[in-house]
Chains A and B, each alone.
Chain A
Amino acid sequence: MYRWFHQLGSPPYFYRLARRLEPWLAIAALLLIAWGVYGGLVKAPPDYQQGEAFRIIYVHVPSAWLSLFVYTAMAVAGAVALVWRMKLAEVFVTAAAPLGAAFTFLALVTGSIWGKPMWGTWWVWDARLTSELILLFLYLGVIALNAAIEDRRSAARACALLALVGVINVPIVHYSVEWWNTLHQGPTITRFDRPAMAPEMLWPLLWCALGFNFLFFWLQLPRMRYELLQREARSRWVARELGSE
């Protein structure tokens, strides 16, 4: 087990493994999302309060969940990269940032679209959306830092540290925004929570969330392969892989 983990840290081994895994992850992701969307759009009954609009939940909640999951994963990878100086962990951080930003962007947009029929405005300064907005800035910071530093190694390590610092900040920001929101409560109390969900409503949500997770891991692998090819372009294993593909 330990030997496999050690092997996993070697770029050529990871590259080959990733290529083999990607199709399976893609299939799993697409099937789960399709099943979840079908359940959410067709099988689930309309909500007695929100009517059909609540179906947005099946893309909004998985996006929000992933935006947090990816950042946490980046932070863990960042810690591994800095403590054990593991190349693959560094690469994980820089490869994941744009994906996390995409999920955060989706969470914001779908949340905003959901808000229009619910509360009549496109944007509400509620705790959840505001926290997501700040999270988007955290992702943009990592992406910008990665783009600004020339040396790929230093860039990845700087981003790893930034992700680690950011992850400590996320709960602090979340708590402070919640506090701020309770102080300045507008006339409408925004509720993205569902009071109680019938099983036919809940299951598609879980399938979609799982599907989004697989989607992330699916896309993360080719992105990491890209970074590895860039960093190790001169090495022999890259030449071998390119020749054999």
Chain B
Amino acid sequence: MSSMWAIVRRDLLLGLRQRGEILQHLFFFLLVIVLFPLGTRPEPAMLLAVGPALIWMAVLLSAMLSLQRLFRPELEDGSLEQCLLSPLPLPLVVLSKVTAHWLASGLIYILASPLIALLLGVPGPAIPVIMAALALGTPTLGLVGAIGVALTLGLPRAGLLLSLLIFPLFVPVLIFGAGAMSAAITGLEFRGPLLMLAAMLVLSVTLAPLATAAALRISLE
């Protein structure tokens, strides 16, 4: 357990030294959301109707961008192979790294979401649901995204291939995440989709690191 925390701390410290990159992804996230109303008539009703989809689109695109720096520094300096040899089982190493990655990306989006809700005119009672949906959905995105990263590690044009591989894995999160947000905004029942998001998170936490570890071994052999 403590070695997992050590990995998380180390990755976070390294990430902090590259604050620029993290802020870049956050900026991209905000940019997508801010640009949309500028491209159309910013009617409150339409923004509310489209808002959940817009938020999740921004999250998905930012996730695809930020995932590209997962494992890559370790691959380049050779420490990824060391991870394969560590006494800590590889899936746990993966889990630690993905957690650190989420703390530097997904968590930031969650904290920024009240501001986004303000921009889109989301009613107050819906905001906690928006944050909850993001809190349940973004870790899943990171966990399954890591599988794609591990499979395309070191390949040319990996970014494009990664998007293609990850897209089907992201769709359920998008559907239930946006569904939960829409339901909350229109005052309907939102607990169903939130529970589905929670179920998918549990499934991802248990299975995705195993798949990622297997993919890393295949990519590095």
B214 touches A148 (CB 8 A): no
Judge whether A179 is part of the interface by a CB distance below 8 angstroms. Answer: yes
Contact of A148 among B152, B179, B218, B221 (CB under 8 A): B152
Bound-state Cα–Cα, A180 to B194, Å: 14
Instruction: Tell me the dominant secondary structure on chain B's binding face.
Output: helix
B155 touches A138 (CB 8 A): no
B172 touches A176 (CB 8 A): yes
A158-B151, A165-B147, A168-B207 known; A82 and B168 CB under 8 Å? Answer: no
Bound-state Cα–Cα, A148 to B218, Å: 14
Nearest CB of chain A from residue B9's CB, rounded to whole Å = 29
A134-B171, A144-B164 known; A82 and B214 CB under 8 Å? Answer: yes
A137 touches B211 (CB 8 A): no
Bound-state Cα–Cα, A134 to B174, Å: 13
| Smallest CB gap from A134: residue in B | B168
Chain A residues, Cβ within 8 Å of B175: 176-177, 179-180
Nearest CB of chain B from residue A234's CB, rounded to whole Å = 20
Judge whether A86 is part of the interface by a CB distance below 8 angstroms. Answer: no
Chain A residues, Cβ within 8 Å of B151: 145, 158, 161-162
Chain A residues, Cβ within 8 Å of B215: 158, 161
A176 touches B196 (CB 8 A): yes
**Top-6 shortest CB links A-B:** A176-B172, A176-B175, A141-B165, A180-B175, A157-B218, A148-B155
Interface, chain B (partner A; CB < 8 A): 147, 151-152, 155-157, 161, 164-165, 167-169, 171-172, 175-176, 179, 196, 200, 207, 211, 214-215, 218-219, 221
